[in-house]
């Protein structure tokens, strides 16, 4: 027996023939145009579903690790400080904006909300929080391909992320008070105090903003730590020592408290020394760190949330949702159900009762 196609037939399926060449009846049926499921090479619906189930699933994206997220947040914080310097903003505005951005990403991820957009929003909102007037149009012109709508789109989101806590206490005022006290105690060492003042202020402009010092220490402790990096002897002058002549128990308690304060200052100092102000130019602006950050930013583009990548569209969607809720609530009002007059009558009755000084009749 051999397999041949039927002469004059358009059927693509082969038919079984006998030795004489005539079609033979088989399991495929007497007609040469019919074929059984076992002979049909085309996949049936059930077979297609089995093939679909057997296909390998799409692998999930390669998400950022916690260390990579921390590195990116630190990088964007440095970019914010650099942008604030470019816009010639005061020191307090830079520090407030940087803390706003870092506090936002304590409870949110850079994979969820774009840090490049929230960086500008934090900087503009920091101007508002510190009472520094800056026009939105002028601010948006400082950045390429940026509109005022893009800057304002993330404001409410930023406020939610920082729990509407807009008051940020900085160590700059504490430093000024400490310098005044040192000048009073050391009138003959003005050059030493002036040098410590300038170097400590440069440390406060960068090191605590890039590290987690604001989350662990008070402004006075951060100030003391920065001053100890410059001149540790000045800190010993500011922190009082226990009196030599007096109650021994009180002196011991005083010494223990002073040691506790000095240990806290030393811990804060170690944290600030991780990011000295020189690293802003020597490290964060170097070509090596730019090349090292590029793969992380590419990885971030692949694993970011597509629904929240555009803050402008996200804000418009939320506004539409709010408007739709208000429309539904208006339809359920008495005015919409029983007519406008019935809806106004209770209001008129309340106003009439309010005019009566002694209330309604008994």
Boundaries of domain holding 310: 66-167+287-328
CATH number of the structural domain spanning residue 320: 1.10.472.10
Res 248 pLDDT > 60: yes
Res 44 pLDDT > 70: no
Res 8 pLDDT > 50: no
Name the domain boundary from 246, 262, 282.
282
* Residues 293 and 265 occupy one common structural domain: no
Average pLDDT over residues 201-211: 96
* Residues 156 and 298 occupy one common structural domain: yes
pLDDT of residue 306: 87
Return the number of other C-beta atoms located less than 10 Å from residue 217's C-beta.
21
* Residues 240 and 295 occupy one common structural domain: no
CATH number of the structural domain spanning residue 229: 1.10.472
* Residues 204 and 261 occupy one common structural domain: yes
Give the chain's domain count.
2
* Residues 121 and 187 occupy one common structural domain: no
Of residues 152 and 16, more confidently modeled: 152
Question: Does 18 map to a domain?
Answer: no
Range in 206-210, 248-252, 321-325, 327-331 with the lowest mean pLDDT: 327-331
Question: Does 45 map to a domain?
Answer: no
Res 356 pLDDT > 80: no
Question: Does 25 map to a domain?
Answer: no
pLDDT band at 316 (very low <50, low <70, confident <90, very high): confident
Average pLDDT over residues 335-354: 51
pLDDT band at 343 (very low <50, low <70, confident <90, very high): very low
pLDDT of residue 250: 84
* Residues 117 and 249 occupy one common structural domain: no
* Residues 112 and 156 occupy one common structural domain: yes
Average pLDDT over residues 297-312: 88
Of residues 107 and 39, more confidently modeled: 107
pLDDT of residue 314: 86
Res 247 pLDDT > 80: no
Mean pLDDT of the chain: 82
Res 282 pLDDT > 60: yes
Structure confidence by residue, pLDDT tens digits, 58-71:
777 788 999 999 99
Of residues 235 and 343, more confidently modeled: 235
pLDDT of residue 142: 93
* Residues 214 and 292 occupy one common structural domain: no
pLDDT of residue 115: 94
* Residues 221 and 157 occupy one common structural domain: no
Res 220 pLDDT > 90: yes
Question: Does 53 map to a domain?
Answer: no
Question: Does 248 map to a domain?
Answer: yes
Average pLDDT over residues 270-276: 96
pLDDT of residue 19: 47
pLDDT of residue 281: 86
Question: Does 351 map to a domain?
Answer: no
pLDDT of residue 168: 95
Of residues 310 and 357, more confidently modeled: 310
pLDDT of residue 170: 96
* Residues 193 and 155 occupy one common structural domain: no
pLDDT band at 317 (very low <50, low <70, confident <90, very high): confident
* Residues 160 and 184 occupy one common structural domain: no
pLDDT of residue 185: 94
* Residues 176 and 277 occupy one common structural domain: yes
Question: Does 44 map to a domain?
Answer: no
Res 31 pLDDT > 80: no
Question: Does 209 map to a domain?
Answer: yes
pLDDT band at 3 (very low <50, low <70, confident <90, very high): very low
């Amino acid at each position: 027996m051999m397999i041949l196609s039927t002469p004059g037939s358009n059927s693509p399926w082969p038919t079984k023939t006998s030795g004489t060449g005539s079609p033979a009846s088989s399991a495929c049926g007497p007609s040469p145009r019919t074929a059984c499921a076992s002979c049909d090479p085309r996949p049936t619906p059930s077979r297609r579903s089995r093939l679909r189930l057997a296909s390998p699933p799409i692998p999930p994206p390669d998400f950022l690790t916690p260390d990579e997220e921390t590195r990116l947040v630190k990088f964007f914080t440095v970019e914010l400080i650099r942008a604030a310097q470019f816009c010639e903003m005061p020191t307090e505005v830079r520090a407030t904006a940087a803390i706003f951005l870092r506090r936002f990403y304590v409870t949110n991820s850079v994979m969820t909300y774009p840090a490049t957009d929230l960086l500008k929003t934090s900087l503009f909102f920091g101007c508002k929080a510190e009472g520094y007037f800056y026009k939105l149009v002028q601010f948006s012109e400082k950045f390429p391909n940026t509109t005022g709508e893009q800057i304002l789109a993330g404001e409410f989101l930023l406020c939610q992320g920082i729990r509407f806590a807009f008051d940020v206490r900085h160590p700059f005022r504490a430093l000024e008070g400490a310098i005044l006290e040192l000048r009073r105690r050391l009138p003959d060492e003005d050059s030493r105090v002036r040098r410590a003042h300038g170097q400590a202020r440069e440390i406060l402009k960068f090191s605590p903003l890039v590290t987690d010092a604001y989350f662990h220490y008070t402004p006075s402790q951060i100030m003391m730590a920065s001053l100890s990096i410059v001149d540790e002897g000045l800190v010993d002058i500011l922190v009082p020592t226990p009196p030599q002549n007096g109650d021994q128990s009180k002196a011991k308690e005083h010494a223990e408290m002073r040691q506790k304060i000095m240990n806290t200052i030393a811990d804060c100092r170690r944290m600030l020394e991780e990011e000295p102000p020189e690293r802003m130019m020597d490290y964060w602006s170097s070509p090596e760190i730019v090349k090292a950050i590029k793969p992380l930013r590419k990885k971030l583009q692949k694993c970011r949330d597509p629904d929240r990548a555009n803050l402008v569209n996200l804000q418009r969607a939320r506004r539409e949702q709010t408007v739709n809720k208000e429309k539904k609530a208006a339809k359920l009002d008495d005015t919409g159900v029983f007519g406008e007059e019935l809806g106004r009558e209770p209001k008129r009755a309340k106003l009439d009762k309010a005019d009566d000084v002694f209330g309604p009749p008994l």
